[in-house]
Amino acid sequence: MYDTLGFTLLKKCTAKCDICCFESAPSDEEKLDINRVKEYIEQSKELEQIKTIAFTGGEPFLVYEELLELVRLAKAAGKKPNTITNGFWAADGKTAFSRLKELKAAGIDYLSLSYDAYHGQYIDVNNIRNILNAAAQLGISTTLSIVKIKGEKIGDILDQIGSDIYTANIKIVPCLPSGRAAKMFHEEQFDRTILAENCRCPYGGNLVVLYDGKIYPCCSQEVPDTNLSIGDFNTITLKEALQRVKNNGLLYFLRNTDFRFFTEYAQNELGMELPQKVVNPCELCAILFKENKAGLFYDYVVENIKELKRQMRKDEERILS
């Protein structure tokens, strides 16, 4: 069940982090049509399965007035809006409190912060402290996401933030070999600890519209490297997008089986060489489906869908007999 709708409002960011999956930078101009985003939010009113609407980037606070309006619209549509930021705008406590108070009134009750050694090259740690402090006063839940490479120590980041960290959830994320990170780091710097044979897709509930308008069936940093897009939000409705996801056989097996369904076929029939360990399931997904490889699984998926339907008919007949 897809219950979260995400919009990557723009590619532009105030930072140019080595780890960025989108290779965002201050010079980027790609941006979603704000009016089309509003239309999708309006369409979500008729879709009870959509519970949450998330606004990401790039850096969504670069278009703060638009963000504020979209949050209000999402709340009015009966959804739970949330957003993410690197905190560039919170240089003092007064500004942090004022903006979060505005967002709280508009409907935000959850905020994700990105801060680590890479964001720290562009963002002062006091900005993060200001946001965490203001969020705690206003009753806004926060998560601090810290991305790290293999062997990197992160304790000093928590020490720098100090006691303001106590009210936040902390999410430590191993850096994926995607976007700028794939160019900036050597292969051995990616922390591959997960057995590929044990992988299962963790992101089945998110429908995401990227800054270029392409719609993807998850929020993974790796998904732009695949050809798993199910359409363009400029040309199809939200309802049509959800229907495409529902009718997609490959996505059905991604959501309802582990990756062995694909890896065994990839190795035995397609001759793919797959790693024994990966950073996480998203890396394995990208290896399998990037560079238009998804089409290689078409016949295999179709045959398994047919077999699944045959089995369902047999089960129905058994129940009715």
Domain range list for the chain: 4-191
- pLDDT score at 292: 83
The series of mean pLDDT values per 10 residues for the chain, 321 residues long, is: 95 98 97 98 97 98 99 98 99 98 98 98 98 98 98 95 96 96 97 94 89 95 90 98 95 93 96 96 95 92 92 77 67
With CA atoms as reference, report the closest residue to 289 among 236, 235, 223, 212. 223
Please report the pLDDT score of residue 143 as a whole number.
Answer: 98
Tokens of 23: 């290779």
Provide the b/e sequence for 65-82 (b: ≥16 CB within 10 Å).
ebbbebbbbbbebebbbb
Q: Residue 193 burial by CB count (10 A; 0-12/13-18/19+): exposed, middle or buried?
A: exposed
- Taking alpha carbons only, the member of 118, 124, 123, 128 closest to residue 168 is 128
Q: What CA–CA distances, in Å, run from 52 to 79, 86, 192, 206?
A: 5, 21, 31, 9
Domain formed by 4-191, architecture: Alpha-Beta Barrel (3.20)
**pLDDT score for 321:** 67
